[in-house]
Amino acid sequence: MKTLQRTAVAALWSAGLLGAVAPAVQAQTGPLRIGVVTPLSGTYAPIGAQVKMGLELALTEINAGGGIMGRKVELLYEDEEANPQVAVQKAEKLFQQSKVDFLTGTVNSGSTLAVGQVAERNDKLIATTVSFSDAITGDKCSPNVFRVNAKAGQQSVALAEWLAKDKPGASLFLLGPDYEMGRSTVAAFKDAATQRGIKANGELFAPLDSKDYSSYFGQIRAARPQVFYTSTAGNDTVRLFSQLAEYGINKNITMIGVSGAITAQNIKAIGKNAEGFVTGVGYTPEIDNPQNKRFVADFVKANKIAPDLYGADSYGVLYFYKAAVEKAKSTETAKVRTAMEGLKWTTPQGEKTMRAADHQAIQDMYAVRIANGDFTIISKVQGDKAIGPSTCKRW
């Protein structure tokens, strides 16, 4: 038994080390390798799935068009299990073993921040297409981290603008999961809304993974709001909305919330209770321009489901990198970084600008409503109006 163990250990070591030598042989003339560290298992796996689908579509298109600067592009996937501890291991593996030139795919902000640190230590760049915590391009910004998707602040502005126009002076109740992200999204929206004349008359924070929200319904009823905002996500939203409907609380109330509250992952489970829900997003398949129409058609053909914001932004990130490398005429980190700052590139959402001050993409934002299971656009806010001032002070 012990000899078996010793042999096993020795075998594993040797296998690992052999694996270490092989990729080191690949030099700079081979294909361009881009690492993708994304949750392929676990609660966030559906998001990871959309990320993968978006990236794959862009990959096929780019390679069909001759690649980036004549080099083919390769995507290397690793499962981060939505755990920063695993994410950094995999990111390191991709940077040091597989020698990727660029990395993307992280979903939760903890992973993005941790992988950002790894990127700094390895002098490489990463971009996120999902994480929307303001801190990533705010007080925790990093010179090696870029964000291609809209952040929470932009989403709040889009939603608040619509709300102020559609229901001026309405009374608002806010509910969020009781952790950093939940609290900060509620706070950000409350700010944006009250600045525009909406009256916040109650807020409440329920533990993450709450099974039963009915204990809060007394409080919500007492507040008699016209509008109800939630920043729950995944199963929490399923339970919240079902239980609100069960108790009849959602009658005659406009339900709104953060963009991650209702997505392809849970919309089926929420069913008809999702009808009428309004949120602020940077993407919806309905955006009416030729790139998006083509993108949606190609995406549906390849994957049999519609793209969501994660799929679209992940599709866009490959083109972002392509544009930067072509502008810099190199894959060297410092040159690409300079090229990325201030870069304008075309995406299904139209033209986006990467702001140099905080590495945050500026884009037009929309308020969308769920009608018959689809997200329909009901209002739009211009890119530079939606984005606030930069709060990043590191450079």
Partner 1 sequence: MVDPTIPAPRRRAGLATAFVVLALLAALAAWWTGDTFYLRLATEALIFGGLAMAVDLLLGIAGLLSLGQALFFGFGAYLSGLLLRDAGLSFWSVLAIATVAGAAVGLVSGVIAIRARGVYFALIMFGLAQIAAKAVYNVQALGASDGLMGVPVVRIGVGPYSVSASDPLSFFLVVLVVIMLMYALLAYLLDTPFGRNMQALRANPLRLSFLGFDPWRYKLAAFVLAATIASVAGALYPMLRGFASPELLYFQTSGNAVITVVLGGVGTLIGALYGSVILFGLKSVVGTYTEHHLIVIGLLFMAAVIFFPSGLVGALRKKK
Partner 2 sequence: MSAWLESLQFVYAPQVVNGLSLGVAVILMALGLTIIFGLLDVINMAHGEFYALGAYLGTSLLLTGLSFWIVLVLVPLVMLPVGYATERLLIQRVFHHKDRHILTLLLTFGMAIVLEDVFKLIYGPNSLKPESPIQGATELLGMMFPTYRLFLMAVGLVIVAGVWWVVYRTRLGAIVRAAAYDRHMSASLGVPVLRVYAGTFAFGVALAGLAGVLLAPVYSVFPTMGKDFILMAFSVVIVGGLGSIKGAIVAGLLLTQVQALSSLYISPVWSDPLVFGIMVLVLMFRPQGLFGRLGHG
Where do contacts with partner 2 occur on this chain (CB under 8 A)?
41-46, 178, 205-207, 209-212, 214-218, 222, 234-235, 238-239, 242-243, 246-248, 265-266, 268-271
Closest of 370, 221, 359 to residue 286, by C-alpha: 370
7 makes contact with partner 1 (CB under 8 A)? no
Token look-up 């109800």 returns 228
Q: Binding partner of residue 43 among partner 2, partner 1, none, CB under 5 to 8 Å per kind?
A: partner 2
393 makes contact with partner 1 (CB under 8 A)? no
Q: Identify which of residues 79 and 161 has a Cβ nearer to partner 2 in the complex.
A: 79
Q: Binding partner of residue 20 among partner 2, partner 1, none, CB under 5 to 8 Å per kind?
A: partner 1
Between CA 340 and CA 315 the distance in angstroms is: 17
211 makes contact with partner 1 (CB under 8 A)? no
Nearest distance, CB of residue 364 and partner 2, angstroms:
30
Q: Identify which of residues 96 and 226 has a Cβ nearer to partner 1 in the complex.
A: 96
Q: Identify which of residues 210 and 254 has a Cβ nearer to partner 1 in the complex.
A: 210
Q: Identify which of residues 168 and 179 has a Cβ nearer to partner 1 in the complex.
A: 179
Single residue of 135, 159, 343, 386 touching partner 1 by CB under 8 A: 135
Q: Is 131 in a helix, a strand, or coil?
A: coil
Query: What phi and psi, each to the nearest 5 degrees, are found at residue 98?
Result: -85, -5
CA 384 to chain centre: 20
> How far from 150 is each of 22, 313, 363, CA to CA, in Å?
39, 9, 7
Q: Identify which of residues 83 and 346 has a Cβ nearer to partner 1 in the complex.
A: 83
302 makes contact with partner 1 (CB under 8 A)? no
- Characterise 169 by phi-psi region: left (phi > 0), alpha (psi -120 to 50), beta (else): left
Q: Binding partner of residue 393 among partner 1, partner 2, none, CB under 5 to 8 Å per kind?
A: none
Residues 103-122 interacting with partner 1 (rule: CB under 8 A): 109-110, 113-114, 117-118, 121
Residue 262, Cβ neighbours under 10 Å: how many? 26
186 makes contact with partner 1 (CB under 8 A)? no
151 makes contact with partner 1 (CB under 8 A)? no
Cβ pair 296, 307 in contact under 8 A: yes
Cβ pair 306, 348 in contact under 8 A: no
Q: Identify which of residues 9 and 300 has a Cβ nearer to partner 1 in the complex.
A: 9
Binding map of partner 1 across residues 349-368, x = CB under 8 A, - = no contact: --------------------
Residues 234-273 interacting with partner 1 (rule: CB under 8 A): none
Residues 86-105 interacting with partner 1 (rule: CB under 8 A): 88-89, 92-93, 95-97
Binding map of partner 1 across residues 33-52, x = CB under 8 A, - = no contact: -------xx---x-------
Single residue of 123, 179, 194, 382 touching partner 1 by CB under 8 A: 179
Q: Binding partner of residue 97 among partner 1, partner 2, none, CB under 5 to 8 Å per kind?
A: partner 1
End-to-end CA gap in the chain: 57
List all residues 6 or more positions away from 188 whose beta carbon is below 8 Å from its beta carbon: 134, 152, 153, 156
6 CB burial (10 A radius; 0-12, 13-18, 19+): exposed
Q: Beta 374-381 vs 365-371: how paired, if at all?
A: antiparallel
Nearest distance, CB of residue 84 and partner 1, angstroms:
5
Q: Identify which of residues 12 and 69 has a Cβ nearer to partner 1 in the complex.
A: 12
Three-state DSSP string of 29-77: CCCEEEEEEECCCCCCHHHHHHHHHHHHHHHHHHHHCCCECCECEEEEE
Cβ pair 176, 182 in contact under 8 A: yes
Nearest distance, CB of residue 316 and partner 1, angstroms:
25
Sheet of 344-347, strands arranged across: 73-79, 32-38, 102-104, 125-128, 145-147, 360-362, 350-355, 344-347
- Structure token digits, residue 25: 């042989």
Residues in touch with partner 1 (CB under 8 A):
1-2, 5-6, 8-10, 12-13, 15-17, 19-21, 24, 40-41, 45, 79, 83-85, 88-89, 92-93, 95-97, 109-110, 113-114, 117-118, 121, 133, 135, 140, 178-181, 208
